[in-house]
Each structure stands twice: as structure tokens, then as C-alpha cells.
A and B are shown apart, each in its own frame.
Chain A
Amino acid sequence: MCRIGAIKSSDYVHPSQALLLMQSQQKGHDNSGFAMVMHDLGGIFKNYKHLPTLSLACTDEGLKLAEDILHEAGFSRVLQWVPETFHRPGLDINAMPNYVFETFNYPKQFRNASPKEKEDLLLDMRLQLRFALEEGDQGYVYSFWPDVVTLKEIGDPRDIGTYFNLWQPDDHFTAKVITAQCRQNTNYDIVRYAAHPFFLQGYTALANGENTFYLKNKEFQRKLHRGYIGFESDSQCFLYTLHYVHRELGWPLPYYKHVITPLPFEEVERREDRDELLAIRQSLTHLEINGPNTIIGVLPDNTLFTCCDAKKLRPVVVGRSDKMVVISSEVCGINEILPERDWQEDIYPNEREIVMIGQDLEVQRWRQ
């Protein structure tokens, strides 16, 4: 099984918390990988929230290639952080030679551009980098976006933590929102890109489950947006649907649930918004998911949410304290990092709701 988790906190937290959250659920995963996306960065990135940061795992050649492309496009580097790695024999990790997090200033001609233009530019650059580095397996570009960094690795999550020295809390690599998953892809080949969470233009999604409508989703999404590529994992579809519904169509978040797990016709007939719901089901039937899933997602404004498939075939629980909300596949993960919370307040989301954690950590539950 995959195990997924997410932390949203009013203070900056270190990824060691995410590792702890995931490690306690170790029985539920197979030690084949660990990945995380951090939004709303603190520490060394805190002063660069408005500038895009590139998260890259690559060879030396790949790094040069990527930097050349960015420089040519007019980007100028303002910050580079190469995490110190600690290799020792016996560590189960299948690492790339370099891990690079670099923050760039926009090209001159884009500095006064609209947010939309900048966002499109960042996406195009990431795609360009990805294609360029794909040749000869020179590297993996996980994200290129303001206030976001991504790390993905193949191996035992504990050893990955050791390798990147992530068990040791410090305050220069922190964020207020961290999503993480343990385990590499099992449905298809092991590919670095296949590890959750997936990221696109400020949106992050990760899932525990199996998307039985993967083929339908994929065939449809391929034509919807140039950013919908890869499909190394069936769970990527959840991200693309989120991006499409929320950003491209501009529909409020509750409609995400209506798209992926539409209400049965019988129930729709009894609803006041019957016409809208039917129209959504008609037009977006290929984005429906069928099959067991729990999804966790992050929106560009750092809203965190979770929802399940329509039959609630995968577990998820939400625990909270005054300063932190944690979503996890298993409650033991939350016990690990929020031992003092009132566990009676834990939420076990049902098959027809979205649990949303907005600004100031207020938690909302929306019935579909």
C-alpha cells in the first residue's frame, strides 16, 4: 500500500516531521522510495517567496544543461542550495549525483508581466528542461515555481532521510505545508517522476490507491493542457483534474469532488443544482475516477484538502492541534507528531466529503 501524509502548520516545520509521520506507518509501505513537496517556504528560501525555485535531481552534465537553458531564457540565479549529502555504505538509496535547489529572478522582459504570463513561462521552462534532460537520463525537474521545493528519491525512506540529513531538524530548510509519500510506483516501472506528490503550477496532489479509470483519464487529459504529460503513474491524473477544474475552468474546489466522484444519478435528481451536476457529469465523464483512492491536494494559496473515492475504500484521518493540522493514511502517523492533541477531535473523512484546511488552519468539511 502507499502511505500518504501532509502537514499544515502555522509555524515553519522541518521535513523531519514529515519523515516521522511517514516512518511510523512503515508497515504499510515497502521502503521503495520517499518524496515530498514543500509549499510556503521558510529558512533560506523565506525571503524569495515571489521568485521561482527549481528543484532538480541530475548529473553534472544535466545541471549544466539546465542552467544554460535558463540563462539563455534570461533567468538569473539569486540563490543556490545544494543539500549536503551523507553517503555511507549500506544505505538503501538509488541517488542521482546532484540535488539542486536554485532560486531565479525572472527574465527582464517578464518582471512586470502579469501573474498568468509568468506562470505560463515557468511551466514552459520546466517542460523544456524536462525534455532536454530526459535525453540520456541527465536529470529530473520536479518543480519550478515560487515558494515550492520538491524532493523525490528511490530507496528506503529512513536511509533517504539519513542521506540528506533530514532527520536532524534545523531552521534553514522549513515550510508551512509539507506533503509526503512513501513508496515508489508499483503499477508501472520505477521512474523518479512516478513518485507522488505530483506538482503543476502551484498545485500538488498525492494519492493512495488505484485509479481504475486511468486510461480514460489519461486519454482525455493528454489533449486538455500542454502541462498534462508523463503519466508515469495513474495518480498523476488526480493532479491534472484538480488543475483543470480549479485553475483552467475556474470552478471552486467543491466541484473537484463532483468531477472525480459524481453523485449517483438518483441522488442528483433530488438536488436543487441538478442541472449543473448533470452537465458536469456529461462533459467531464472522462475525468471521473472509479476505484479505491484517497487524495490529498494543495492549492496555490496553500489550502490543503483531502477527499476519498465514492466507496471509501482507502483510509485517511485528519488530526489537529492549535498550530498544526496533519492528514495521514494511518492514525499512528499523527500520534507520532501530535501526541498531545485531543484525538476525539480527529476527523475520518467520509466518501462524500472534502475536508479543507484553509488560512489560519480553520478546518471545513463540505458535503458533496
Chain B
Amino acid sequence: METMKIHDVTANDLPWKIRYDASRCTLCGSCTAACSFRAIAPKVERRRLVWSESEYPEPKSRYSAVPVIRQVKSIKNYCRGCGICEKVCPNDAIGPVRNLDTRHPIVTRCLAGDSIKRGGRKNLEATVRTLDKLRVGRISQMTDPSLDAQRHTFDMLAPFGRILPPGKLPFKVGADGRLEKDGQAPPVHWIYPVVIGDMSIGALSWRMWEGVAMATAYLNEQCGLPVRMCSGEGGVPVRLLKSRFLKYMILQIASGHFGWNRIVKAMPEMIEDPAGVLIKIGQGAKPGDGGLLQSQKVAPHIQAIRGVPKADLLSPPNHQGLYSIEESVQKMFLSFNAAFKFRVPVAIKVAASATSVSVFNNLVRDPYNIVGGFFLDGIDGGTGAAHEVSLDHTGHPIVSKLRDCYLAATTQGRQGQIPLWAAGGLGKTGDLAADAFKMICLGANGVFTGKLILQMAGCVGNDMGRCNACNTGLCPAGITTQEPALAHRLDPEKVAQNIVNYFLAMDQELKKLMAPIGNSSLPVGRSDALVSTDKAVAERLQIQYVC
């Protein structure tokens, strides 16, 4: 008998165990070939077979070498539970099973002396979300008829850009009694109230990014939905910068300022203005933390777009030199506004936190009217890579924070002047329309979503620790990888088709929610349309409590 070594890693220490049925396995090799993490491998076992042929037991035995598939017991190549093996197995011989007794968080840290990093999802607190405790409770009836979602027209657009208070509109009354514009106003674009959230071309595979960009163009040009997509940090392919599709893109500048060189250089050749500029200060999935693009994912085209060598690219948690809202942020806003000749709205994205309302108040009161949108990102969202400890243990849920910002604006009579956009786990249950609608009733002008887009493309990860390997560059679905073999698993056309179809369904559903409350334009701030059966939630959000 071998000596037992207590510190050996076994399958029982890992988050997932492989269920394998040798009797069904034909050893086709599909699963081992498909597992991008190399978490399973062929192995030969010595098997003993005992049989008897006579009337009385007369055991004979035979030894043979049998090839089987086994789980790799390693903290590097551990199984992520992605289920790709199960997907490819023709005989249902293999699949991952969640291991409730996992020692992974301890073993990994002990053996590697390094913190655990993974794709951005909060994996704690799998409780009922606040949004699911809200219902649309105000239904128009006889004296106040509801609308017909099929027959009526709906004005489902949200502003992106700084909105002037009515008294400051540059108007004068002309000779014929008509208002005439008399001066400048900040640029405002009316766009679809669901923006495809910022996922960078480094984080996503180029095929994924292409699929999303295609979907955006198709939604705009064929479906009449002015959906905008945010580039995420790290620049944009030059061809896109010089194309007419730029008008559907919100360019992001995050703390690493990656890729901006190329954007600035391409400016003289841009034939369209971008849809907006988004200055990312923080992200809900890892508030107070910067981006983490590990060198595995820094492929040659990423190096070219960002102008960097193949190395880990760690964005700092803040824009270096941007410490005060009053001065430096303003400077930054001004320079971006000026760069695009004041024709492109410039917005800011911050992580929902205990201090976001103060930031918002600062911006709302800014006399120069420069901030064209407040993107508030809460926990539960996020796709990028970060340290697990940040993902799971920092941040703030989005619902009450968004509500706080809206009510802060209301108290000052300035609601709507900086459009509020919110995200963070919206669409987590698959129903983005319902989540978006409730957020709008609570005061959001619109929402943005990233993770759900991955889900539409075929991401197999979830919030209970499945996959979440977006940081490794080994995404089994080809979504967040730059490995050509893996990326080719993803069909960009299919990605685009799925996104387009999802948006069309969601658009229908949004109307299905607007119709019963009798609204043909977005019910921003119509919290009277919501009720909650949870008293604490009702009180906190200032909506009606029902029981």
C-alpha cells in the first residue's frame, strides 16, 4: 500500500469532480481534445477481471491495461465545470459534478502563494435579487386605458448627453412667435435604452467582438433600434474608427488609457463622430480595482491596437492624476469635448459604492454642464478578470444606489440633467426587459449590460462558480480568448444573430410592460408603477408596499 500523502491534491479538493463511466466510453478522445483547461487526460489503468466457467467456483483472473479518461489533479489545470466535455461526448460518458466539499480556496492559496484570479462574477450571495422583489403593480384600467403593445407606437429612446435645465435653453422668441435657437447647447443623442456594455477587444476574442459589432450595426440599420455599443478599454481597430459604423460606438477611455493613441491619430480620418466617449473611473464587478488582462490574452493584434508588448496589462485602479472631481476630471471632460469639437457627449462610469451619490451630486452641480451621463455599475455584473477577493467582497448592489442618485437629483430639481445609466447583474435571470423596466421606473434613463451579451453568445459560466475562466485566455466557448483554435469555436454570425434576436424579443417585452401602465414614452422615475411585497425594500426604494 502506498503511503498516504495528506497534502496531495485530489479531485475531492477541487471545485468540480468528473463523473466518468468507463463502460459507456468509446475512447473517441473528443472530451480531452475539447477541454481547453486540460483538466482531463487519458490514462491507463491496470484492471483485474475475475471469472469462473465451471459449475463450481473456479476463479480465474486476468490483468489488462485499460485506457480511461481521468481528471487531472492539479491546481493549475483544474476542472471549471464548464461542461464542454459533456457537450462533446457522444455517449454521455463524462461530465462535471459540483463538489460541495471543495477545498479549492484554501489549497490554491496555500500551494501557489498567490491570490485567486478569475473572470468577473460575484459568486457569493446567490439569494433573491432586489429586482425580483418588485412587481409592476400599477395597471391602467378603465378610466386610464392601457395601451396595445402591438398597435400603439412607443417612444423608446433615452438621452445620452448633458441636458440643460429648461431655463438655460438657448432660446429666444422670434418674430413669428416661434422659439429660435440662440446659442450653444451640449450635444445630446437619443439612443435605445439598453446599451451593450463596455467589453474591450482585449478581453473578448476578436470573433466575439466582431459578432457584437455586427449585431449593433444590424440592429441600427435593419431593425430600427438605435442600440449603441461601448468599446471598453483598449482601443478600437483602425478600420472601424475610419468606417461609418463608428457612429454606433461609444469609445471608452479607462485608467490605462490603452489604445487612445491610435484613436487620436485616426481622428482626422474619421468620417463619422463616435456615439459618445465614456470615461471609466470604476467598474461594479471589481470596484476600486483596475483591469487585469493577463499576458496569455495579449495576442499580436491586441499588442498592435494598444501599442504594448506581450505582458500582463494591469490598468491602475484610478486615472493617474485624476484625484479630484472638481479639477482634473473637469479638465479631462473638457479635453474630450474639445477633441470632438463639442459634438460628442462625454459620460463617466463609476462603480456603485457608498460614495457614488456624492460623486453624482458634484457632477450635477457643476456649472459648466460638461458631464453627459452617469453610468453606474453595481456588483453582480462584470466580465473582466480580477482577484477573486475583489469580485466577491467589494461593491454595492445597483438598485438602491441608482435610486439614491435619482432621488438626490429630484431633491435638487435636477432630475434628468445628467442621464443615469445603470448596470450590474441586470438580466441575470435572463429577463433583461423586466430588469430594465424596473430600473427605469426607479429613475434610470437606461441600462447597460455586458455579461448577458456573453450569455447570448453562448457563455457557459454562471454565478455559482461555473467556468469563470475569462482571465485565463482559455475560454471554452471562444468568447474571451485569443487562442485561434478556441476562438474558432465561436461563429460571429451566430453571435450577431443571437444578440439581434434577443434585442428584438426584449424590445417587444419592454412594450409589453409599458402598455399596461399606459405609457408610450419611457416611464423614467415612475416608481408609482412598482410595488414590493418586501417592506424593507419598499421603504428603502420609496415605493408602495403591498401584502
Which residues of A come within 8 Å of B, CB atoms? 1, 209-210, 212-216, 219-220, 222-224, 244, 248-252, 254-255, 262, 264-265, 273, 275-276, 278-280, 282-286, 288, 290-292, 310-311, 313
Q: Tell whether, in the assembled complex, residue B413 and residue A224 are in contact, meaning their CB atoms are under 8 Å apart.
A: yes
Asked whether A291 and B518 contact (CB < 8 A) given A210-B143, A282-B163, the answer is yes
Q: Mark B residues whose CB is within 8 Å of A.
A: 140, 143-145, 147, 152-153, 155, 157, 159, 163-167, 169, 171, 173, 177-181, 185, 188, 190, 410-413, 415-416, 517-521, 523-528
Question: Is A216 in contact with B524, judged by CB distance below 8 angstroms?
Answer: yes
- The contact sample of 7 A-B pairs, CB cut-off 8 A, is A216-B523, A223-B410, A251-B171, A252-B173, A282-B159, A282-B188, A310-B520
Say whether A286 contacts B416, CB under 8 Å: yes
A262 cross-chain contacts in B, Cβ below 8 A: 521
What residues of chain A lie closer than 8 Å to B523, measured between beta carbons? 213, 216, 290
The reply to whether B144 and A215 contact each other, CB–CB distance below 8 Å, is: no
Asked whether A292 and B145 contact (CB < 8 A) given A278-B188, A279-B169, the answer is yes
Neighbouring B residues of A283 by C-beta, 8 Å? 163-166, 169, 416
What is the minimal beta-carbon distance from B364 to any residue of chain A, in angstroms? 13
Find out whether the CB atom of A252 lies under 8 angstroms from the CB atom of B518.
no
Q: A215-B526, A251-B171 are in contact. Are A290 and B179 (CB under 8 A)?
A: no
Instruction: Determine the residue in chain B with the shortest Cβ distance to A252.
Output: B177
B415 A220 Cβ-Cβ under 8 A: yes
Q: Nearest CB to that of B141 among chain A residues?
A: A210
Q: How far is the CA of A262 from the CA of B520 in the complex (A)?
A: 11
Closest chain A residue, CB of each to CB of B147? A311
Chain B residues, Cβ within 8 Å of A209:
143-144
Q: Which residue of A lies closest to B412 (CB)?
A: A223
Minimum C-beta distance from B282 to chain A (A): 27
Which of A212, A215, A250, A285 is close to B140, meaning CB atoms less than 8 Å apart? A212
- Chain A hits for B180, CB < 8 A: 276
- Give the CA-CA distance A176 to B366 in the complex, in Å: 49
Docked-complex contact A288 and B181, CB < 8 angstroms: no
A288 touches B521 (CB 8 A): yes
Set of chain A residues within 8 Å of B185, measured between Cβ atoms: 279
Contacts of A280 in B (CB 8 A): 166, 169, 179
Find out whether the CB atom of B524 lies under 8 angstroms from the CB atom of A285.
yes
Bound complex: CA A223 to CA B173 (Å): 25
Q: How far is the CB of A353 from chain B (nearest CB, A)?
A: 16
A278 CB, min distance to chain B CBs, angstroms? 7
Seed contacts A216-B523, A220-B410; 4 additional CB < 8 Å A-B pairs: A215-B527, A219-B525, A280-B166, A286-B416
In the complex, the chain B residue whose C-beta lies closest to that of A225 is: B413
In the complex, the answer to whether A251 meets B179 with C-beta atoms within 8 Å is yes
| Contact present for A275 and B159 (CB under 8 Å) | no
A304 to chain B, nearest CB (A): 18
CB distance from A271 to the nearest CB of B (A): 11
Smallest distance from the beta carbon of A17 to chain B beta carbons, Å?
28
Which B residue sits closest to A259, measured CB to CB?
B166
